[in-house]
């Protein structure tokens, strides 16, 4: 499914409140981005129980039921899980992972809220969800007839909104503090190879692991080697390395803010190279997140950040040229505002020129 628009968690929740009661909704999104959790939250909000069916594990009879002789005719008995007397939210997860036969079984259920002679109770809601073909997940082509029976929307991760939820739900403070500094690390596109990658779900898993080991609490004995196992087992490798560097700065958790204010300097000692890398990446993330795309929208705080950002990139270049170039480079599709890059080119032409030269050398 190719949709030209995407929505955040809050925007999708609003759509569900208004559209789902009258039309079936299908939510597209990468694995682990929060589709299931949001549907469950919606069900709680509207006061309905949520019944989940996993499309990849269904056969047609799991939907339409089995036949029974009743007098001189036969009738289908719908499954107990579906055939309820009170209204509910029917969540069809991984719907586009079903076989074509199972998809056909869903036609009347989705379009007419009916399975054979059984009708879903008045007030019931049907919501589907599935991964995209580019997500390296189990995905089958959805028939045009099934597509045309639903309203479609694509969910994307929004770090600010996820952090609001995380603070209310006891996510480990290391995770929330890290993602506050690196909001661009909440989600990474699924890799083509079999390896962990970063999603709201994988950060939640890491949080649970850290809680189980009482990491960061008084008396905790979580070794550096064990922490490495936990982190690299949950999130993208490059993010994991950055997270490990971040844990070394926890006692100085406000160090980036102090550096921006001019009250601290970049750590320049060789043994602190990983910390310097983390802080440089964090500055980059802060600039991307806090600087407006349009220079006309600069306010007092973002003006100060832009001014200090240029000065700090210059100072960083004197310590490590490659890290300074990394701050202004395009990484994973995330780029600094164009107007800020223009000012960097104007004020630090050598930094940009050498960075471009190194990229051309690597390409040749």
What's the pLDDT at 353? 53
- 237: closest CA among 276, 200, 193? 193
User: Phi, psi (5° rounding) for residue 62?
Assistant: -70, -15
Task: Taking each helix axis as running N to C, give the angle between helix 338-347 and helix 300-319, from 0 to 180 degrees, rounded to the nearest 10.
Answer: 50
- 154: closest CA among 51, 235, 38? 38
Please name the residue that has the structure tokens 């994988």.
202
Please name the residue that has the structure tokens 């993330």.
285
Residues contacting residue 165 through CB under 8 Å, at least 6 positions apart:
9
What's the pLDDT at 253? 63
Asked whether the whole model's pTM tops 0.85, one would answer no
Spell 268-296 as b/e; 16+ CB within 10 A means b: eeeebebbbbbbbbbbbbbbbeebeeebe
What's the pLDDT at 200? 95
Let me know: does 56 contact 16? Beta carbons within 8 Å: no
What's the pLDDT at 151? 95
pLDDT string in tens for the chain (364-residue length): 667 789 999 999 999 999 999 999 999 998 899 999 999 999 999 999 999 988 777 777 777 766 777 777 777 777 888 888 999 999 998 888 887 888 887 888 888 888 777 889 999 999 999 888 777 766 777 888 888 989 999 999 999 999 999 999 999 999 999 999 889 899 998 888 889 999 999 999 999 999 998 887 765 667 889 999 999 999 999 999 989 988 887 766 678 888 999 999 999 888 888 889 888 988 988 898 899 999 999 999 999 999 999 999 999 988 998 898 888 886 656 788 999 988 888 877 766 555 444 444 444 4
Let me know: does 4 contact 153? Beta carbons within 8 Å: no
Distance CA 11, CA 129 (A): 16
Q: Which CATH superfamily is domain 9-156 in?
A: P-loop containing nucleotide triphosphate hydrolases (3.40.50.300)
- DSSP three-state, residue 52: strand
Q: Please return the burial class of 68, using the count of CB atoms within 10 Å of its CB with bins 0-12, 13-18 and 19+.
A: exposed
Q: What is the largest distance, in Å, between two alpha-carbon atoms of the chain? A: 90
Q: Per residue in 217-242, pLDDT tens? A: 765 667 889 999 999 999 999 999 98
Question: How far from 290 is each of 205, 276, 304, CA to CA, in Å?
Answer: 28, 21, 11
Distance CA 5, CA 324 (A): 34
Let me know: does 56 contact 31? Beta carbons within 8 Å: no
Distance CA 117, CA 110 (A): 14
> For 341, how many CA atoms within 13 A lie in the half-sphere containing its CB?
17
Q: Per residue in 17-26, pLDDT tens? A: 999 999 999 9
Q: Which residues pair with 69 in a beta bridge?
A: 74
Domain locations along the chain: 9-156, 160-363
Any alpha helices (H) in the chain, and if so which ranges? 9-19, 35-46, 61-64, 100-112, 144-147, 159-168, 173-181, 200-212, 224-232, 237-247, 255-261, 273-290, 300-319, 321-328, 338-347, 349-363
Q: Which helix (H) or strand (E) holds 70?
A: strand 66-70
Residues contacting residue 240 through CB under 8 Å, at least 6 positions apart:
196, 228, 231, 232, 234
Let me know: does 142 contact 106? Beta carbons within 8 Å: no
């Amino acid at each position: 499914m190719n949709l030209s628009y995407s929505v955040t968690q809050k925007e999708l929740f609003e759509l569900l409140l208004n559209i789902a009661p009258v039309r079936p909704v299908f939510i597209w999104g990468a694995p682990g981005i929060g589709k299931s959790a949001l549907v469950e939250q919606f069900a709680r909000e509207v006061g309905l129980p949520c019944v989940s069916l996993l499309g990849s594990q269904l056969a047609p009879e799991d939907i339409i039921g089995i036949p029974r002789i009743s007098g001189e005719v036969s009738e289908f008995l719908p499954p107990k899980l579906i055939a309820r007397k009170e209204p509910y939210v029917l969540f069809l997860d991984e719907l586009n992972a079903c076989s074509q036969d199972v998809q056909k079984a869903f036609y009347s259920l989705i379009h007419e809220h009916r399975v054979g002679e059984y009708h879903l109770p008045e007030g019931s809601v049907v919501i589907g969800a599935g991964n995209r073909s580019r997500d390296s997940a189990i995905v089958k082509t959805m028939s045009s007839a099934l597509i045309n029976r639903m309203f479609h929307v694509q969910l994307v991760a929004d770090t600010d909104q996820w952090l609001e939820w995380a603070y209310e739900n006891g996510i480990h403070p290391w995770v929330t503090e890290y993602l506050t500094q690196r909001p661009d690390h909440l989600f990474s596109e699924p890799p083509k190879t079999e390896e962990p990658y970063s999603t709201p779900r994988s950060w939640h898993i890491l949080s649970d692991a850290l809680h189980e080991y009482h990491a960061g609490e008084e008396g905790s004995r979580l070794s550096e080697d064990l922490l490495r196992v936990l982190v690299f087992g949950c999130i993208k490798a490059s993010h994991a390395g950055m997270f490990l560097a971040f844990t070394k700065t926890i006692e100085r958790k406000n160090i980036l803010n102090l550096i921006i204010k001019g009250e601290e300097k970049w750590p320049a000692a060789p043994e602190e190279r990983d910390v310097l890398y983390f802080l440089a990446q964090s500055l980059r993330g802060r600039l991307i997140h806090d600087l407006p795309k349009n220079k006309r929208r600069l306010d007092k705080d973002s003006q100060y950040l832009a001014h200090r950002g240029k000065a700090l990139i210059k100072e960083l270049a004197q310590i490590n040229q490659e890290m300074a170039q990394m701050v202004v480079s395009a990484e994973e599709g995330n780029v600094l505002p164009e107007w800020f890059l223009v000012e960097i080119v104007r004020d630090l032409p050598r930094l940009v020129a050498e960075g471009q030269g190194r990229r051309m050398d690597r390409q040749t």
